[in-house]
Amino acid sequence: MRIVITGALGHIGSRLIRELAVAFPGDDIVMVDNLATERYVSLYDLPAAGHYEFIEADILMADLARLFEGADAVIHLAAVTHAGPGEPQSEMRRVNVRGTELVAQACLATGSALLFPSTTSVYGTPDGVVTEDCPPDELRPQSPYATWKLESEMFLRGLAADGLRFVIFRMGTIFGPSPGMRFHTAVNQFCWRAVARQPLEVWRTASHQYRPYLDLADAVRAMAFVLERRQFDGRVYNVLSVNATVEQVVEVLSGYVPDVRISYVDSPLMNDLSYRVDSRRFADLGFTFTGTLARGIGDTVAMLTGARSPMTAGPDRQPR
């Protein structure tokens, strides 16, 4: 099998390229990345079982049909999740929306299947549990990034009639370590701030509100699961490990890092939003979510402190 991953050196991709080599030893893994975030470290110490090829390319300018030629599947991770200093939102939208359109059109031209990671942030229900079949009024993206993901989902559906084979993952907020790790999302940011003895900034109105989270280990296993089953059925699947509150996240983290400090800040946003996401559709395919906050936080703290993970150091090792 030949698998192409765009954005291959990022937070998700840098772990995925390693896990795919274990899951599909001997298969071709083509890593496409523009190195804008300079995650060169993601290319080091790759498993010997993988047949790797790295291509430095920008999805907005590259000849994607040539890059995807012969690919059984493309996993499109290339995206900009938040603006850097002075970066306009119009450029972010261009990468996220136009970039996805170009990737999808190249997949259609080459016959490659597409796995598209979207986000559970497309949901905006004020309460309760939400599924993939929720009514349109519960699709209220909570950020420009989520809006662009939803727009891209609609574009992919439009290409289904032309023969595009794809699957959409609405993924919970990622947590857990990787070689190309980022710390801009809630759990990972809390981990590094706690280890650095910095206060955790928590919205005062959000500490008891539920959000969906996805252990990175579950995320890469789910992608491998789809590749193995050729599950490119044009459907949307919620992919998440746990629905949890910020209070629960902090409670788990405090078991690994003593004396966690919290700084509550006021925010006019998210006052009414507390919802849980249902992942049974994906589980019904035969996939088991095994990720937990304890494992992901424990592994992340262990990485940051240079210690062995409390979750893998033996049965007698427990959080403090």
What CATH number does the domain containing 300 carry? 3.90.25.10
Query: Within this chain, do residues 81 and 198 fall inside the same structural domain, yes or no?
Result: no
pLDDT of residue 294: 96
Query: Within this chain, do residues 141 and 180 fall inside the same structural domain, yes or no?
Result: no
Residue 285 lies in a domain: no
Residue 121 lies in a domain: yes
Query: Within this chain, do residues 139 and 254 fall inside the same structural domain, yes or no?
Result: no
- At how many degrees (to 10) do helices 13-23 and 216-229 cross? 50
Query: Within this chain, do residues 60 and 130 fall inside the same structural domain, yes or no?
Result: yes
Residue range(s) defining the domain that contains residue 31: 2-172+216-239
Residue 319 lies in a domain: no
Query: Within this chain, do residues 196 and 148 fall inside the same structural domain, yes or no?
Result: no
pLDDT of residue 318: 43
pLDDT of residue 143: 87
Query: Within this chain, do residues 184 and 132 fall inside the same structural domain, yes or no?
Result: no
The structural domain count of the chain equals 2
Q: Quick check: 32 and 67 in contact, CB under 8 A?
A: yes
Query: Within this chain, do residues 100 and 229 fall inside the same structural domain, yes or no?
Result: yes
Torsion of CA 125, 11, 118, 283, to 10 degrees: -80
Ranges of residues in the chain with a pLDDT under 50 are 270-271, 312-320
Q: Quick check: 249 and 187 in contact, CB under 8 A?
A: yes
Report if pTM > 0.75.
yes
Query: Within this chain, do residues 68 and 201 fall inside the same structural domain, yes or no?
Result: no
Residue 89 lies in a domain: yes
pLDDT of residue 86: 63
130 exposure class (CB count in 10 Å sphere: 0-12, 13-18, 19+): buried
CB atoms within 10 A of CB 83: 13
Query: Within this chain, do residues 7 and 129 fall inside the same structural domain, yes or no?
Result: yes
Query: Within this chain, do residues 200 and 108 fall inside the same structural domain, yes or no?
Result: no
pLDDT of residue 270: 46
Active-site choice (123, 145, 210, 275): 145
DSSP structural state of residue 241: S
Does the active-site annotation cover 52? no
Residues in the chain: 320
pLDDT of residue 309: 56
What is the Cα–Cα distance from 126 to 99, expressed in whole angstroms?
A: 31
Query: Within this chain, do residues 77 and 60 fall inside the same structural domain, yes or no?
Result: yes
Long-range contacts of 48-52 (CB under 8 A, 24+ apart): 49/21, 49/22, 49/25, 50/17, 50/18, 50/20, 50/21, 50/25, 51/26, 51/27, 52/17, 52/21
Query: Within this chain, do residues 9 and 48 fall inside the same structural domain, yes or no?
Result: yes
